[in-house]
């Protein structure tokens, strides 16, 4: 009987964004990818692991591995691969499990997440600590892998822990791998957050997290459909995952080209290059695989990128799948896949481990509010240094007349693709009339602080601006001001 070995990297975003150093962030992304691809293949290729080598990969992307093999092969991987990862990437949180089916594997992996991992690096009282993270410091030694940029990196890091030094070393492979996936030249892109924010409005950056709707559900449906034929089930799941990932990567390429080609790139003799070698593209891909996309880019390009991605993703999945893998819902045949996105707007120096958590919560909220039935977007501009969670932010910053009969949110629950087109058009009209923008900001600030002057501002603005004021939906006021502030 065949068994399934499973591995999942826990808290991918928190691991990648543990620091605000762009090289370490890029390297963390590469480690997550390498665990599922190169490192897993390297482990299986060792003669000592031959018992595990002839299995079938169901999934090996975006921090997840699902691998069908014999029970002995699965046990061998379980015993050896964890130690293999700990040696290559100290500090990476992951869970492993073995199960006879995909359903029981997911349950087992969920249970393993609750078991704490132990680190075996001893910290003596006299040992130096890395100032950025508070973990035990290691010696930073230059080698062939770290030669490029090492001196500059050491100036920024007088001490570093093993986890983040390994991320720095892995960043050299990561830069090219992620860019090659999207047909982007690494040398086109900005190399730190300050450079990325230059040219934008007030140094705003954005972190985008995009996640497909229903990929896991469809994999489970395929497993159930072919439950009596192991080979057919494995091939169907593998084909589905590959097609889905391919659609994600092609939609990503389209979004990048749509967003940046006109301003930053030119074509000479059939070869793309920067229009100005000193003007780098304010963009960095961090995760691209399966149904997950995470990128950092200058804030004024964020909405355009997400809109282009979501439209193209729906189009590609509709054309490529043609109903072959689509599961019926409520008696209706779904003819395409959708995705949801969260955008967190922050200043260049804001801690990105908070930012990524907010972007994930925004994406999850968009999924919940849209019931995963359509592509949807939620965004938020961080205006203070205290972030708990999105629900708390809504109560504190996006709700007026709290606890009263006329309590109202001032941010839309989510934007689908049609809503977004209409909203961007209205925002453009508001931007052209500066007086309206100032009145909006005054009214919102006074209303949030429950000042009676808000009524006066409302009446004065209505009298002065007429329909330009009354046509602005107050339940979207915070959204208007967010886009006006960052673009």
pLDDT at 258: 94
The answer to whether position 32 is within a domain reads no
Q: Same structural domain for residues 158 and 194?
A: no
Domain boundary among 372, 391, 410: 391
pLDDT at 174: 61
The answer to whether position 359 is within a domain reads yes
Q: Same structural domain for residues 343 and 355?
A: yes
Domain boundary among 181, 206, 233: 181
Residue with tokens 């808290």: 11
pLDDT at 257: 93
DSSP code string of 150-191: HHHHHHH-SSEEHHHHHHHHHHHHHHHHHHHHTT--GGGB-S
Q: Same structural domain for residues 360 and 327?
A: yes
Q: Same structural domain for residues 257 and 326?
A: yes
How far is it, in rounded angstroms, from Cα 448 to Cα 454?
A: 9
The answer to whether position 57 is within a domain reads no
Residue with tokens 């450079």: 195
Q: Same structural domain for residues 221 and 288?
A: yes
Number of folded domains that form the chain: 3
The SS3 assignment for 350 reads coil
Q: Same structural domain for residues 321 and 342?
A: yes
The answer to whether position 402 is within a domain reads yes
Q: What is the pLDDT along the chain (487 residues), one digit of tens a residue?
A: 688 899 999 888 788 887 777 878 888 888 888 888 889 999 998 888 888 777 888 777 778 888 888 899 999 999 999 889 988 888 888 999 999 888 888 889 988 888 776 665 666 566 666 666 666 666 666 654 555 556 566 656 666 767 777 787 777 666 567 777 777 887 888 877 888 888 777 889 999 999 998 877 777 777 777 777 767 777 787 788 888 889 999 999 999 999 999 888 888 888 888 888 788 899 988 888 778 899 999 999 999 999 999 999 999 998 888 766 555 554 455 678 899 999 999 988 887 777 888 899 999 999 999 988 899 999 999 877 666 678 888 888 888 877 777 787 888 889 999 999 988 888 887 777 777 778 888 888 888 778 888 888 888 888 888 877 777 767 788 888 888 888 8
The model's pTM: 0.81
How far is it, in rounded angstroms, from Cα 482 to Cα 6?
A: 42
Q: Same structural domain for residues 223 and 334?
A: yes
Q: Same structural domain for residues 238 and 174?
A: no
Domain boundary among 361, 391, 421: 391
The answer to whether position 145 is within a domain reads yes
Q: Are 157 and 140 in contact (CB under 8 A)?
A: yes
pLDDT at 331: 46
DSSP code string of 222-278: HHHHTTT-HHHHHHHHHHHHHHHHHHHHHHHHHHHHHHHHHHHEEEETTEEEESSTT
Q: Same structural domain for residues 240 and 152?
A: no
Helix, strand, coil percentages in the chain from 3-state DSSP, rounded to 5: 50, 20, 30
How far is it, in rounded angstroms, from Cα 193 to Cα 172?
A: 18
Beta strand 408-409 pairing with 399-400: antiparallel
Q: Same structural domain for residues 323 and 405?
A: no
Q: Same structural domain for residues 323 and 445?
A: no
How far is it, in rounded angstroms, from Cα 290 to Cα 60?
A: 9
Shortest CA distance to 342 belongs to which of 357, 323, 326, 332? 357
Q: Are 55 and 73 in contact (CB under 8 A)?
A: yes
The SS3 assignment for 437 reads helix
Q: Same structural domain for residues 152 and 252?
A: no
Domain of 452? Answer: 398-486
Phi, psi at 285, each rounded to 5°: -80, 140
Q: Which residues contact 2 (CB under 8 A, 6 or more apart)?
A: 68, 69, 70, 100, 230
Shortest CA distance to 362 belongs to which of 334, 336, 398? 398
């Amino acid at each position: 009987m065949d068994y399934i070995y499973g591995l999942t990297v826990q808290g991918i975003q928190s691991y990648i964004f543990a620091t605000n150093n762009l090289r370490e962030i890029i390297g963390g992304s590469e480690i997550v990818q390498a665990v599922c691809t190169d490192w897993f293949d390297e482990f299986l290729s060792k003669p000592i692991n031959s018992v595990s080598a002839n299995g079938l990969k169901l999934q090996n992307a975006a921090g997840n591995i699902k691998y069908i093999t014999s029970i002995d092969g699965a046990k061998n991987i379980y015993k050896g691969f964890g130690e293999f990862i700990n040696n290559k990437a100290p500090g990476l949180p992951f869970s492993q499990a073995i199960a006879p089916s995909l359903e029981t594997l997911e349950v087992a992996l969920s249970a393993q997440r609750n078991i704490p991992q132990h680190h075996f690096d001893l910290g003596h009282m006299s040992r130096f600590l890395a100032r950025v993270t508070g973990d035990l410091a290691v010696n930073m030694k230059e080698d062939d892998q770290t030669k490029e940029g090492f001196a500059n990196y050491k100036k920024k890091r007088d001490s570093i822990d093993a986890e983040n030094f390994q991320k720095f070393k892995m960043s050299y492979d990561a830069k090219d791998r992620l860019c090659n996936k999207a047909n982007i030249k690494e040398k086109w892109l900005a190399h730190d957050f300050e450079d990325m924010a230059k040219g934008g409005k007030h140094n705003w950056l954005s972190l985008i997290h995009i996640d497909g709707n229903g990929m896991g559900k469809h994999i489970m449906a395929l497993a159930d459909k072919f439950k009596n034929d192991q080979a057919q089930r494995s091939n169907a799941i593998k084909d589905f995952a590959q097609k889905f990932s391919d659609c994600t990567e092609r939609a990503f390429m389209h979004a990048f080209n749509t967003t940046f080609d006109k301003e930053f790139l030119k074509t000479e003799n059939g070869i793309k290059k920067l229009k100005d070698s000193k003007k780098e593209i304010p963009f960095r891909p961090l995760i691209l695989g399966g149904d997950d996309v995470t990128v950092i880019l200058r804030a004024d390009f964020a909405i355009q990128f997400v809109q282009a991605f979501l439209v193209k993703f729906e189009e590609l999945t509709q054309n490529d799948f043609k109903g072959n893998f689509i599961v019926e819902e409520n008696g209706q045949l779904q003819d395409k896949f959708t995705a949801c996105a969260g955008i967190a707007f922050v200043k260049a120096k804001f801690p990105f481990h908070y930012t990524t958590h907010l972007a994930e919560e925004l994406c999850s909220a968009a999924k919940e509010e849209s019931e995963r039935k359509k592509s949807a977007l939620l965004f938020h501009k961080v205006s203070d240094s205290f972030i708990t969670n999105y629900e708390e932010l809504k109560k504190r910053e996006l709700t007026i007349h709290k606890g009263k009969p006329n309590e109202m949110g001032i941010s839309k629950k989510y934007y689908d693709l049609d809503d977004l087109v209409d909203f961007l058009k209205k925002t453009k009209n508001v931007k052209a009339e500066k007086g309206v923008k100032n009145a909006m900001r005054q009214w919102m600030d006074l209303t949030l602080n429950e000042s009676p002057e808000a009524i006066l501002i409302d009446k004065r603005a209505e009298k002065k601006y007429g329909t330009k004021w009354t046509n602005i939906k107050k339940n979207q006021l915070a959204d208007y001001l967010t886009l006006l502030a960052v673009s």
